Amino acid sequence: MAASCLNRKFCCSICLELLKDPVTTSCGHSYCITCVKSHWDTEDEKRVYSCPQCRQVFTPRPVLVKSTMLADLVEELKKTGLQAAPADHCYPHYDSTNVCSRHDEVMKMFCRTDQQSICYLCSVDEHKGHDTVSAAAERSEKQRELEVSRENIQQRIQDREKDVKLLQQEVEAINGSADKTVGNSEKMFTELIRLMEKRRSDVKQQVRSQQQTEVSRVKELQEKLEQEITELKRRDAEMKKLSHTQDHNQFLHDYPSLSPLSESTHSSSIKSRPLRYFEDVTETVSEVRDKLQDVLREKWTNITQTVTEVDVLRSEPEPEPKTRAEFLQYSCDITLDPNTAHTKLILSDGNRKVKVRWENQSYSSHPDRFTDWCCQVLSKESLTGRCYWEVRRGGGVSVAVAYKNISRAGISDECVFGHNDKSWALECDDSYNYVYNSVFTRVFGPQSSRVGVYLDHRAGILSFYSITKTMTLLHRVQTTFTQPLHAGFGFYGCVGHTAELCELK
């Protein structure tokens, strides 16, 4: 037994035979030179070499030198007549985990069924009938799997590094575009400010110049009138003196010497027209200011929307809703804007309901109000993104969406929902008609007093639904919206007809 244990100390843990031309690695383990070279030959592709026993890694591949002392010891063993221990009993002394605790045999087998290392006796005993292979074969298989996994990981690393590089380029592009846009915007706003400053200066200069001219004219007229007053006072004094003359003959003698009084050429011009000041200029400037504010307010929404639509990492769009429950996820709170309501319309229920009345309502004048034959109203809220709302109608109603800059007055189609390129409408009465840019499309579907409207502004989708016990698609529009939209109702002179924005739970 002692000889067997001694032999094991001089066994190669790869071939399990006495060492032939032994070499020792830097980690202190010894092998046959041909065994360890063959083992490392299989690792050439990885360019990483490891000790078969302790797995210490060497880079680059070590240069092996024959261990003279160990070779001499092995030769001495041979001379004593001791034979190498049988292969089945020769196992590394350094690692008890490689020895079967039940049979005291080297675990050179692997049970794939139980996923554990076993010895040969185990394979014909409790692991009989299992899927068993040699440990070397299993290691070779797992090594291949490991290499495939490493290749996949390395490929993913390369892909991610490429993605990181692309994202860095995106960051640079975003920063560059933003910087350029900010610079251009600053330049354009500076030009606008400079123009406004110039116009302000021009108005001031013109007013002051006209002020000076008018004051000069008034003072000139004032001076002439004062001269006329002096002359008139002098004449009045002469006449007064003459009127006090007691001698009749003297009075008659002096009277012809009075020159006739001429008509005034100044006072009549003053009476014929009132003096004009500069209040009209203030009103005109005020009109310009209001128009500029309206333009800036309207276009500012477009600017902010355009900025927020910049989405480099935009994901795939979500699918359209299919059920009413899914539509209700996008329900939005909408109210009607009194400043847009035609004078024949009266709002109620927190500006969610509108009714056509015979008499005009006492609304104040507002540039956003629909007038003439456009008996219409728009929502106060602008609509972007995904929105869903429902309308309960009483009678004929045009359920519409429109841009804020739709015309508000006149007897042309430019202000009527659906009759221009700034609005889209579903006319709901005894039948349905979809109208856009004065083109009518007959729509068929179940009649209902409730209409659902779905808007996906970014995707350019507008859909109308008949709401009964189920939802029925009446018409779907696919287009491109260039501005925020507003919900709207239109009526055609039918007193008593109503429309109401439903509260969705």
pTM of this structure: 0.45
Question: 446-469 burial, b if ≥16 CB within 10 A, otherwise e?
Answer: eebeebbbbbbbbbebbbbbbbee
Inter-CA distances, 301 with 190, 291, 414, Å: 20, 16, 22
∠ CA(129), CA(134), CA(138), 5° rounding? 100
Closest of 410, 413, 444 to residue 426, by C-alpha: 444
pLDDT at 310 over 80: no
Q: How far apart are CA 428 and CA 172, in angstroms?
A: 52
pLDDT at 342 over 90: yes
Query: Stretch 68-75: mean pLDDT, rounded?
Result: 85
Residues 8-64: pLDDT tens digits? 667 888 888 888 999 998 888 889 999 988 888 887 776 778 888 877 888 888 888
Q: Which of 102-116, 171-185, 260-274, 453-467 has the highest mean pLDDT?
A: 453-467
| Amino acid at the residue 111 | C
Question: Between residues 258 and 180, which one has the greater pLDDT?
Answer: 180
* E strand or H helix that includes residue 249: helix 248-254
Residues 181-226: pLDDT tens digits? 899 989 988 998 999 899 899 989 988 998 898 889 889 988 988 9
Q: Which structure tokens are listed for 48?
A: 């990483």
Give the pLDDT confidence score for residue 267 in this predicted structure.
57
Q: How far apart are CA 103 and CA 75, in angstroms?
A: 31
pLDDT at 348 over 70: yes
pLDDT at 231 over 90: no
In order, the DSSP letters of 318-346 are PPPP-SHHHHHTTB----B-GGG--TTEE
Confidence of residue 461 (pLDDT cuts 50, 70, 90): very high
pLDDT at 269 over 70: no
Closest of 374, 400, 388, 394 to residue 488, by C-alpha: 400
Give the pLDDT confidence score for residue 276 in this predicted structure.
58
**Is the CB of residue 298 less than 8 Å from the CB of residue 343?**
no
Give the pLDDT confidence score for residue 77 in this predicted structure.
78
Q: How far apart are CA 320 and CA 327, in angstroms?
A: 9
Q: How far apart are CA 14 and CA 139, in angstroms?
A: 13
Task: Give the alpha-carbon dihedral of 378, 380, 383, 387, to 10 degrees.
Answer: -90
- Classify 496 in phi/psi space as left (phi over 0), alpha (psi -120 to 50) or beta: left
pLDDT at 5 over 60: no
Q: Which structure tokens are listed for 157?
A: 């690393």
Give the pLDDT confidence score for residue 53 in this predicted structure.
81
Contacts 24+ apart (CB under 8 A), 219-222: 221/266, 221/270
Inter-CA distances, 444 with 138, 324, 464, 466, Å: 70, 20, 12, 10
- HEC per residue, 256-310: HHCCCCCCCCCHHHHHHCCCCCCHHHHHHHHHHHHHHHHHHHHHHHHHHHHHHCC
Inter-CA distances, 146 with 55, 73, 440, Å: 15, 39, 67
Among the residue ranges 272-276, 279-283, 491-495, the one predicted with the least confidence is 272-276
Give the pLDDT confidence score for residue 268 in this predicted structure.
54
> Radius of gyration of the chain from Cα atoms?
51
pLDDT at 363 over 80: yes
Residues 79-88: pLDDT tens digits? 765 444 444 4
Sole residue written with tokens 């003196």: 241
Mean pLDDT of the chain: 85
pLDDT at 233 over 70: yes
Q: How far apart are CA 15 and CA 198, in angstroms?
A: 98
Q: Report the length, in residues, of the chain.
A: 505
Rounded to the nearest angstrom, the gap between the alpha carbon of residue 216 and the centroid of all alpha carbons in its chain is 62
Confidence of residue 456 (pLDDT cuts 50, 70, 90): very high
Closest of 37, 44, 45, 41 to residue 148, by C-alpha: 45
In order, the DSSP letters of 100-165 are -TTT--B--EEETTTTEEE-HHHHTTTTTTS-EEEHHHHHHHHHHHHHHHHHHHHHHHHHHHHHHH
Give the pLDDT confidence score for residue 1 in this predicted structure.
40
Closest of 311, 441, 458 to residue 386, by C-alpha: 458
